[in-house]
Amino acid sequence: MKLIHAIKSAAASLGALAVLSLSTPLCNADPGVTDSTITLGMSAPFSGPNGAYGAEMKEGALAYFSQLNAAGGIGGRKVDLVALDDGYDTERAVSNTRKLINESNAFALMAFYGSSPTTESMKVFAEAKVPLIGTISGASTLRTPVNRYMFHLRASYADETETLVNHLVGLGITHIAVFYQNDGFGKSGLEGVTAALGRHKLKPVAIGSVERNSIQVENAVKDIAKVSPQAVIMVTLYKPTAEFIRQMRKAGQMPQFSTLSPIGADLIVNELGAQQAHGLGISQVMPYPWNDTVPVVRDYQRALQAFAKHKNYSYYGLEGYLNAKLVAEALRRVGKEPTREKLIAALEGGPFELGGYKVAYSSSNHNGSRFVDLTVLSRDGRVLR
């Protein structure tokens, strides 16, 4: 009887240890990894004037992780995404970064939003040696010099502005003004437009700006309208962009308006209305999300329908999905005992074929893609290629 009791006690103890191990870190793994989960962290705006951007990104990422976890996760580990709202505020983004690393024990970070918030947050995650994979920013301040812990998914603003300028100049449009947001995002875009124009021996004919999280565009309209430009390249988000276009047209100005991918095509149409948004040119850094001929787009559409129960596809949603897929593919290459150093090595050992969207890094280049597409908004608000 004593022997049977001892065996039962030992079995109970082993069972308890097995249950406990499901929620405890592995001895050789970095924080955020247990034998059943991998925790990732994200900071983006989910509230305020730019909350729609973060919401679409998070939805796309969660759609992928839902799909991934249902299929068994990464080597049997499910991926848990902790997403914190920063309202597109730099101080909140920095605070969120600390919380994700120190309190949520995020193994890695992904899908941060905004040039200035990410630039300041970079000081925190780089010091902690926690990699950030993907951010909604093409700013040069995040790319040069190369930060070992920052991996970019999308093309740079320099890539986008060069494509826009070359297109406009190719159409014979040389009288080009710039309207930009007065922060890292806008300044990087302004630099890109100026450099691209310079290669054609041109300069901006006028420059106007708006403060971040503001729609006070009156001074910019005044400065730009007085030169009657043929085109205006706008390095701004959807609310100030919509207000700027309204006021320019009210002032009798009808230039070719063009803007960069951060605008969010669906958001500017909702804000401005399809008729007013008609003809707006937008550079894009993701595949066209409404055409299912590209494998990753088809997968995104199916995942969004299953997870979110709707078909409101968007560039931001697709980018969130692709960002999550990139992280997952890199984690698969890491193997059974994930560490952050192994993750960095896996990313730098690319390339990654993500279903029609290719990303490649090296130790000296963390710019994953230079893909840029040009689109225009139709009379009924649809994005046309």
Beta bridge partners of 178: 207, 233
pTM reported for the whole predicted model: 0.88
From CA 315, how far away is CA 202, in angstroms rounded? Answer: 32
pLDDT at 147: 97
Beta-carbon contacts of residue 128 (< 8 Å; ≥ 6 apart): 101
pLDDT in tens, 199-255: 999 999 999 999 988 999 999 999 999 999 999 999 999 999 999 999 999 999 999
From CA 311, how far away is CA 323, in angstroms rounded? Answer: 19
- Asked if 136 and 160 count as a contact pair (C-beta separation under 8 A), the reply is no
- Asked if 373 and 312 count as a contact pair (C-beta separation under 8 A), the reply is no
Query: Does 23 have pLDDT greater than 60?
Result: no
Beta-carbon contacts of residue 30 (< 8 Å; ≥ 6 apart): 107, 338, 339, 340
More confident position, 313 or 18: 313
Query: Does 28 have pLDDT greater than 90?
Result: no
Q: What is the mean pLDDT of residues 186-211?
A: 97
Beta-carbon contacts of residue 369 (< 8 Å; ≥ 6 apart): 152, 153, 154, 155, 285, 357, 358, 359
pLDDT in tens, 159-168: 999 999 999 9
Tell me how far apart the terminal alpha carbons of the chain are, to the nearest angstrom: 79
- Asked if 217 and 187 count as a contact pair (C-beta separation under 8 A), the reply is no
More confident position, 307 or 140: 307
pLDDT at 292: 87
Q: Which residue has the tokens 């290719």?
A: 358
Query: Does 25 have pLDDT greater than 70?
Result: no
Query: Does 173 have pLDDT greater than 50?
Result: yes
pLDDT at 27: 57
Lowest mean pLDDT: which of 5-19, 25-39, 157-171, 210-224? Answer: 5-19
In 3D space, the residue among 329, 336, 315 whose CA is nearest the CA of residue 368 turns out to be 329
Alpha helices (H) along the chain:
2-21, 51-70, 90-102, 115-127, 157-170, 184-198, 218-225, 238-250, 265-272, 274-277, 295-308, 315-334, 340-348
Q: Which residue has the tokens 């949603």?
A: 317
Say which CATH topology domain 157-284 has: Rossmann fold (3.40.50)
Beta-carbon contacts of residue 187 (< 8 Å; ≥ 6 apart): 180
- Asked if 356 and 294 count as a contact pair (C-beta separation under 8 A), the reply is yes
State CA 103 to chain mean position distance.
Answer: 23
Query: Does 31 have pLDDT greater than 50?
Result: yes
pLDDT at 24: 57
Reduced to 3 states (helix: H, G, I; strand: E, B; else coil), residue 176 is: strand
The CATH number of the domain covering residues in 13-155+292-359: 3.40.50.2300
Query: Does 10 have pLDDT greater than 50?
Result: no
Q: What is the DSSP letter of 262?
A: G
pLDDT at 356: 96
From CA 38, how far away is CA 77, in angstroms rounded? Answer: 6
Residues of each domain in the chain carrying CATH 3.40.50.2300: 13-155+292-359, 157-284
pLDDT in tens, 305-333: 999 999 999 999 999 999 999 999 999 99
In 3D space, the residue among 339, 354, 360, 237 whose CA is nearest the CA of residue 31 turns out to be 339
pLDDT at 235: 97
Average pLDDT, the chain: 92
